[in-house]
Amino acid sequence: MSILWNSEQKTLTLETAGTTYQMAVDQYGVLRHVYYGKKVVPADMMYLHRNYDRGFSGNPYEARTNRSYSLDAVCQEFSSCGVGDFRLPSLRVLSPDGSRCADPRYVRHEIRPGKYALPGLPAALDADGDAATLEAVLEDPGCGLRVRLLYSVLPKKDIIARAVLYENMGTAPLVLEKAGSCCLELPFGSWDLIHFHGRHCAERTPERLPVMHGIQAVGSGRGMSSHQHNPFLILCDHLATEDRGDCYGMMYLYSGSFRAEVEREAYGSVRAVMSVGDESFRWTLLPGESFAAPEVLLSYADGLARLSQQYHAAVRENVCRGEYRLGHRPVLINSWEAVYFHIQPDRILDLARRAADLGVELFVLDDGWFKGRTDDNRALGDWVENRDKLPEGLGRLISDIRKTGLLFGLWVEPEMVSEDSDLYRAHPDWALTVPGRKPTMGRNQLVLDLSRKDVQDFIIHFVSGLLETYDISYIKWDFNRSMTDVYSHLLPAEKQGEVSHRAVLGLYRVLETLVTRFPHVLFEGCAGGGGRFDAGMMHYTPQIWCSDDTDPIERLTIQKGTLFGYPLSTVGAHVSIAPNHQTGRTTPIATRAAVAMAGGFGYELDLSRVAPEDLDAIREQIRDFRADEPLLREGLYFRLDEDLAGMDACAWLLVSPEKDKALLTVVTTATHANAPLMHVRFKGLDPDALYRLKEEDLTLPGSVLMHAGFTLPMLRGDYPSFRLHLERI
């Protein structure tokens, strides 16, 4: 078992293949955080933590004569509120008397095989059959709160999954104002925070900053995980590189508003807390009720590359589910940038025929196919075919497309409603709006209130209807505005602080029902590009449209940031037309494909406007992609930017788990005359094996490629790229 309890030392030690995590119950019943890092032999590591009298730090009543003991100065698994720990709290609880004090202390624990599940929430699965779970129960009889801290160890993946169940064990209602899922303490060291910020068309830009004294926080209050901040953080040693240095990740399996806070306190220790909702979050717990705070996947690795690889394997194999989790996904063509709203059967069929001829496998009919949808101002909610655009019906179009040999996929945006729609006219109270107040509009549409079961059932019903009526293999599930006017017409005033989270739970119920009912359908997530690109969604949609920006040069940063935590298989990426519709930039088709292949590969362009030589290139690209797909999906991913520092280029490498194949990709972002040579060192190869460098007609030992490296030929022209396949011989 990978979880050990030492009853003499009162330590609980969690072990994965490469890491050790230790906590201990101290003399006051506080569950102390002791160690998390590289694997060590089992030992009591409480010696690391020395307590001194710290001025102006309070002492718990039972430690009033022991002034060296303060909750403000000890590392804990779950920080309290209102009782003398002035650092980041893991929770905030309002008692009926108006006080906000909660200090849950250890009462018992249980260790069991397997992975915990969370009611109504996504959670990683025990895909390797080796998981073990620790449930540590903490109670505060003073306010009547019990918290169950859940830890599941996924040993092969070097992941510790954490979640918290809050229970009202008292006789009076409690209001949770903050519900943390995970508190991580780093007692020693000097840390950098890497977070992923952005905007529409520039999601998940990585930013690395030293952790300062005080609190740094990122999060979302938009009811979606958001384009602006991603629920994934890395804390790494200030000197950490791709290859070396302590690196910790916190990945939230949650798709709504969240808060990720990091605090460096007076004595240098760092605490990070991930919690659900924003400052408007309020959840009433009646006596006997419980609340589940979503899951966080924690991971530790020596070096950033290894940390990314650990998350890639865990998300791909333990978080994503279903038939499309691993292996082949159809290469698709999407109609959006090809025709936008101008859907005409002849044009669509022409696109499908050309795509089929090139080797594409799936045709996706994007926005614009349903009743009244002439532009993006109307009709969301009226999910029946548009007979003006499709006089012979959607079924006829699908069957014609299927005759070309392509599978068929359809776009929907189920969580939204337009004011100008039959649905809104029939059910105005189904939208999130505040009585007596004109709602804030976004893309001239409103968000449906998914906290309501009738709304959830409507969505399940209409999506099921589409999937039962038509021959559909794929659904693109879009979400094109943030939540505002967060008010449910069904709930009383005191429950309005629950609506945002209830809506996310509603979405999860809808998706769970649909993916269970239609296991053969591939669901791709989307939110105006990558506005809801998170591991929570990946539990239902193993692929998510990464960004509405399809310019390959812009995508370099977007995809690099994304791939810090999420595997290539989750990244929806398409080759689009040049000049690009978002930037006006012209890039070679080879560069567009090289970038899109670092993701769920597809095309999104009007093929009738593509030059014949580019059509030949596309045919070739699809063949190449199929040949490389296992490597691209399951290979170990290495960023090579450290070798190219100061160069206008971006490089990455994929190495098969067996080390028998590798693929180097380099994309330049500017071309210079008489330029310095670009040089990279390979990683992750077998040093003793010989590799054939396919495009270079060279054979070299792995150790040479990894240490002496490889010098690239001079690349010329606008945005050239370079790909090199290695094969062990």
478, 549, 551, 628: the catalytic one is: 478
- 256: contact with ligand DGJ by CB under 6 A: no
Q: Measured on CA atoms in the order 348, 351, 357, 360, is the torsion positive or negative? A: negative
CB of 550 to ligand DGJ, least distance (A): 9
- Provide the 10 A C-beta neighbour count for residue 240: 22
- 78: contact with ligand DGJ by CB under 6 A: no
* CA 270 – CA 238 distance, rounded (Å): 13
| 548 tagged catalytic | yes
Instruction: Give percent helix, percent strand, percent coil of the chain, each to the nearest 5.
Output: 25, 30, 45
Residue that is written with structure tokens 């810090």 in the block: 564
- Provide the 10 A C-beta neighbour count for residue 468: 10
Smallest CA-to-CA distance from 153 within 275, 11, 36, 298 is with: 298
- 367: contact with ligand DGJ by CB under 6 A: yes
Among 26, 103, 246, 548, binds ligand DGJ (CB under 6 A): 548
CB of 367 to ligand DGJ, least distance (A): 3
- 480: contact with ligand DGJ by CB under 6 A: yes
CB of 221 to ligand DGJ, least distance (A): 21
CA geometry: angle 449, 450, 451, nearest 5 deg: 90
- 336: contact with ligand DGJ by CB under 6 A: yes
Binding window for ligand DGJ (CB under 6 A); candidates: 87-95, 201-209, 525-533, 552-560? 525-533
Among 382, 478, 498, 554, binds ligand DGJ (CB under 6 A): 478
**Runs of H (alpha helix) within 359-443:** 393-403, 422-426
- 529: contact with ligand DGJ by CB under 6 A: yes
Residues 6+ apart with CB under 8 A from 468: none
| 478 tagged catalytic | yes
Q: ω before 96 within 30° of 0 (cis)?
A: no
CB of 366 to ligand DGJ, least distance (A): 5
Which parts of 389-428 interact with ligand DGJ (CB under 6 A)?
411
CB of 442 to ligand DGJ, least distance (A): 12
103, 548, 549, 628: the catalytic one is: 548
Residues 6+ apart with CB under 8 A from 287: 144, 168, 169, 170, 171, 172, 173
Q: Which helix (H) or strand (E) holds 445?
A: strand 445-447
Binding window for ligand DGJ (CB under 6 A); candidates: 251-259, 284-292, 523-531, 579-587? 523-531
CB of 605 to ligand DGJ, least distance (A): 13
Q: Which is nearer to ligand DGJ, 264 or 555 (CB)?
A: 555
SS (H, E, C) 608-664: HHCCHHHHHHHHHHHHHHHHHHHHHHHCEEEECHHHHCCCCEEEEEEECCCCCEEEE
Binding window for ligand DGJ (CB under 6 A); candidates: 27-35, 189-197, 224-232, 521-529? 521-529
**How many residues of this chain interact with ligand DGJ, rule: CB under 6 A?**
12
Among 276, 410, 526, 685, binds ligand DGJ (CB under 6 A): 526
Residues 6+ apart with CB under 8 A from 264: 191, 211, 212, 213, 214, 270
Smallest CA-to-CA distance from 387 within 373, 400, 375 is with: 373
Letters for 289-328 (x = contact with ligand DGJ by CB under 6 A, - = none) are ----------------------------------------
* CA 663 – CA 685 distance, rounded (Å): 11
Q: Which sequence positions are flagged as catalytic?
A: 478, 548
Site residues (vs ligand DGJ, CB under 6 A): 336, 366-367, 376, 411, 478, 480, 526, 528-529, 545, 548
